[in-house]
A and B are shown apart, each in its own frame.
Chain A
């Protein structure tokens, strides 16, 4: 009885999905990439060569920002000695980041970078999770957003280094000491390229991981439209659900990795002795 009704509802869902797929066929629904690429929602003028139009990803980035601006000050604003509920859960994350990343890699310098690093983590994780909400999108699955975050990190890294060692001291200090004079120009180029490559990888890692997760889920769902069969429908749904669960983990993991590497790069700029 129960099994029968469950089977009935699954076949109903599958039929609806297939009908939907048939309707959308020929309008680009077959190309899963269409679903992870940004689309302009509100057209705005181009200023100084920058198209200020509001896109789907912009809107969801603002949704994530709005969530953070509503929740975090409400939870952390009132100074409570004994935390409870949501505040306790979020505070556990903050304490983990503080002890595991900031104190670990930045030590006594960490205090100045705490707001930046914590904001980066919560911004990325919220954007990542929004991509898992039906109808939602991850701004972090857009190379523009991850590249910008990385540029902010690169700016923080070089600025911190230059503040500590001086503008010239920082750039010349990148070359390890005790190498032949002939190699110094070469080493300088290599170190600068290395610095840029590390940050390029930072942007690509977050972007690729988030996009890959969405593409995997979309591809699995796409199987239903390719097969056009009720019987095949439950398997992609189960698979997509499993990938979705994995994506929740990946959302936190990638935010953690981005935050961790940001701390490591800042720490490397502050301690140039190779």
Chain B
């Protein structure tokens, strides 16, 4: 046999062998393998799509949450501001009311004091009259009538009152 002369017998066997190999492998190896490859490709594509959707959803949820948080913070700020205002108003109210009441109380006390003072002065006056009558009785005895005494005392009291 020569190097470059084709051997028809070997060519025949090559055709037979190759065709058998092709047919057997197509059924037993390439078929299942290519199916698995296609399925895997499909699954990877689906997984990637799913992951993308999940990512999008997560992003959405996060942004929504952030929005919610911002709104809550804003609301809290508002509530604080409002309550501060309210408290301020209440404080002013209470203070003014307290001041008014205190003024009222003071007035009443002043008035009562004045009243008491007048009462005390009257009492003192009467006591002074009684004392002076007693004292005068002791000094001048029964020289003067009750009526005279009274007249003299009230006259002098009048004078004292004028002095006052």
Contacts and interface: CB of A to CB of B under 8 A. Distances in A.
Interface of A: 33, 36-39, 44, 46, 49-55, 57-58, 61-62, 65, 68-69, 72-73, 75-81, 91, 94-95, 98, 114-116, 118-119, 122-123, 139, 142-145, 147-149, 152, 211
Contact of B17 (A61, A73, A76, A122): A61
A76 B30 contact: yes
Interface string B139-161: 00000000000000000000000
B26 interface: yes
Interface of B is mostly: helix
A38 B1 contact: yes
A49 B25 contact: no
Contacts of B37: 91, 94-95, 98
A96 to B, nearest CB: 12
Given A37-B1, A58-B13, A72-B29, 18 more contacts: A37-B3, A44-B9, A46-B9, A52-B13, A61-B17, A65-B17, A68-B21, A73-B28, A75-B29, A77-B32, A81-B39, A91-B33, A91-B37, A94-B33, A95-B37, A119-B30, A122-B25, A143-B3
B55 to A, nearest CB: 24
Q: Which interface residue of A49, A116, A143 has the most chain B CB atoms within 10 A?
A: A143
B160 to A, nearest CB: 127
Contacts of B65: none
Given A79-B36, A80-B36, A148 B25 contact: no
Contact of B29 (A44, A77, A81, A116): A77
Interface in B27-47: 28-37, 39-40, 43
Interface string B49-73: 0000000000000000000000000
A134 to B, nearest CB: 22
Contacts of A37: 1-3
B4 A123 contact: no
A218 to B, nearest CB: 13
B22 to A, nearest CB: 5
Contact of B15 (A77, A79, A148): A148
Contacts of B30: 76, 114-115, 118-119
Contacts of A51: 7-9
Nearest to A72: B29
B28 A145 contact: no
Interface residues of B, number: 36
A78 B2 CA distance: 45
B23 to A, nearest CB: 9
B35 A119 contact: no
Contacts of B43: 81
Interface of A is mostly: helix
Contacts of A211: 3
Given A53-B9, A76-B30, A144-B6, A65 B21 contact: yes
A81 B41 CA distance: 10
5 contacts: A46-B9, A52-B9, A81-B39, A115-B30, A148-B15
B32 to A, nearest CB: 5
A73 B33 CA distance: 9
Nearest to A147: B6
B44 to A, nearest CB: 10
B36 A123 contact: no
B14 A144 contact: yes
